[in-house]
């Protein structure tokens, strides 16, 4: 009974851990947003990065080689600009997510009645950043220590059952590291772009998933403290090592 209450207390403390933009040392800007047809169309990525820099953030494009000290992708935020469908009015807002896809902050909606897309998007983006500027962002160095502390508490093997479901520990220095974002039925694995590389569906085992990559269906299994994507090709079993951070 005592262990049961301790587990509940630990889970509650981890779930109650919340973040703000100040907990992150930088922001990744994608080269294309979903409502646009090409990379940096209307210079939207350029304007986003410029606005982020003006707001005090250290911003990097998704294809940039990050400087020393920015190697842990979970120390960074991932920005997205989204469009609201509206009649005769253009509406955009900015969303910040962590490395697991959790929304950390959503800006106010910027609106414009300009008919020219480039002028409308520029006006909307600048208006949306008014609320972001009001945050007075300043990195507090909190995420590296607090998130890891919360994670380490959650991973304490309090019982034999807890030890039995332990999964491989990710190497955050691996340049090919993928990050797991929760979905309704499992996870999606994203790279540093961020781009969805693989989709996972839960099974009855925490160390095994149904996996889909580039239209190929297989399984993702934990073996020898590593993850492997396994599938059949020309009637031969193929096993590919995959570095994943859940």
pLDDT in tens, 56-88: 999 999 888 888 888 787 889 999 999 998 888
236 and 217 in a single domain? The answer is yes
* Helical ranges in 155-194 per DSSP H: 160-164
Q: What count of other Cβ atoms lies within 10 Å of the Cβ of residue 194?
A: 21
Does residue 11 register a pLDDT over 90? no
Provide the whole-model pTM. 0.57
Report how far residue 36's alpha carbon sits from residue 46's, in angstroms, rounded to the nearest whole number: 14
74 and 31 in a single domain? The answer is yes
Report how far residue 133's alpha carbon sits from residue 124's, in angstroms, rounded to the nearest whole number: 14
Q: Which of 24-38, 59-73, 160-174, 213-227 has the lowest mean pLDDT?
A: 160-174
Residues 33-63 have pLDDT tens digits of 999 999 999 999 999 999 999 999 999 998 8
Report how far residue 194's alpha carbon sits from residue 192's, in angstroms, rounded to the nearest whole number: 5
129 and 156 in a single domain? The answer is yes
176 and 143 in a single domain? The answer is no
Q: Which of 146, 166, 186 is the last residue of a domain?
A: 166
130 and 93 in a single domain? The answer is yes
Q: Which residues constitute the domain of residue 229?
A: 168-245
Report how far residue 30's alpha carbon sits from residue 49's, in angstroms, rounded to the nearest whole number: 10
Contact 79, 28 (CB under 8 A): yes
The tally of domains found in the chain comes to: 2
Report how far residue 161's alpha carbon sits from residue 157's, in angstroms, rounded to the nearest whole number: 8
152 alpha-carbon distance from chain centroid:
20
Contact 58, 108 (CB under 8 A): no
206 and 111 in a single domain? The answer is no
Angle at 124 between CA 121 and CA 126, to 5 degrees: 105
Question: 59 in helix, strand or coil?
Answer: strand
Q: In 3D, which of 75, 60, 57, 53 has the Cα closest to residue 30?
A: 60
149 and 176 in a single domain? The answer is no
Q: In 3D, which of 69, 81, 79, 82 has the Cα closest to residue 99?
A: 79
Tell me the two tokens of residue 74: 């979970």
More confident residue, 144 or 35: 35
Q: Which of 108, 132, 166 is the last residue of a domain?
A: 166
């Amino acid at each position: 009974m005592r262990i049961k209450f301790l587990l509940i207390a630990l889970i509650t403390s981890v779930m109650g851990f919340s973040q703000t933009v100040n907990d992150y040392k930088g922001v990744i800007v994608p080269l294309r947003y979903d409502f646009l047809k090409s990379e940096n169309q209307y210079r939207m990525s350029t304007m986003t990065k410029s606005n982020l820099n003006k707001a005090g953030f250290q911003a990097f494009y998704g294809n940039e080689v990050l400087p020393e000290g920015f190697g842990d992708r979970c120390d960074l935020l991932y920005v997205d600009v989204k469009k609201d469908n509206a009649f005769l009015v253009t509406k955009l807002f900015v969303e910040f997510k962590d490395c697991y896809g959790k929304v950390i902050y959503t800006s106010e909606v910027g609106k414009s009645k300009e008919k020219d897309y480039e002028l409308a998007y520029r006006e909307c983006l600048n208006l949306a950043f008014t609320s972001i500027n009001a945050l007075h962002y300043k990195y507090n160095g909190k995420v590296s220590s607090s998130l890891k502390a919360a994670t380490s508490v959650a991973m304490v093997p309090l019982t034999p059952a807890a030890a039995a479901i332990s999964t491989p520990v990710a190497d955050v220095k691996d340049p090919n590291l993928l990050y797991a974002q929760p979905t309704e039925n499992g996870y999606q694995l994203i790279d540093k772009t961020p781009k969805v590389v693989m989709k996972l569906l839960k099974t009855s085992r925490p160390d095994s998933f149904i996996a889909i990559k580039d239209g190929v269906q297989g399984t993702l299994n934990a073996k020898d403290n590593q993850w492997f994507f396994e599938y059949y090709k020309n009637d031969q079993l193929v096993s590919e090592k995959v570095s994943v951070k859940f």
